[in-house]
Amino acid sequence: MVCEDCGARFSDEGDSCAQRFEVLLALDHSHQEPWGSRHGLAFAVFVLQHPGRYETATAARAYEFLMRVFERGETLDYVVRDLRARGRGGADTDYHPPTRGAEPFPVTIADLGEFAASEYAVDLDRWCRSTVHHLRSGARSA
């Protein structure tokens, strides 16, 4: 099985990005570490790899979130507070996710395995950084 959105590959027919994301959301919403404090990152990267499932404004806000953390070097806590303070409005006008090329993402939710606590922070960071790099380097003009 291959995800049409991100290119993730699954050996089990019942496995999918959506199914894995549900498992990850349950961990995020448990408010336990290392998952709870990283919910925003996990949501943003999933949105950017599966943009057809979300509104354009949601994808723009997800792109802003990841760009501010991974490109501008702003702290996660600061970006989360700033985005919450702005409410659910659109993303900053400087951030619009590029239209990506046809190449699959090099790191997908399938690569994070079972979201083991001992590896999750590093794996999530790799997923986010890889997605930002992929979007910036392989993007097409909209």
Contacts 24+ apart (CB under 8 A), 53-58: 53/5, 57/89, 57/90, 57/91
Q: Where are the domains of the chain?
A: 17-140
Q: Taking residues 21-27, what's their average pLDDT?
A: 96
Rounded Cα–Cα distance for residues 87 and 57 (Å): 12
Core vs surface per residue 37-76: b (16+ CB within 10 A) or e = ebbbbbbbbbbbbbbeebeeebbbbbbbbbbbbbeeeeee
Query: Comparing 32-36, 123-127, 138-142, which segment has the lowest mean pLDDT?
Result: 138-142
pLDDT at residue 142 tops 50? no
- 45 and 128 Cβ atoms separated by less than 8 Å: yes
Query: Residues 58-103: pLDDT tens digits?
Result: 888 999 999 999 999 999 999 999 888 887 655 555 677 777 777 8
Global pTM reads 0.90
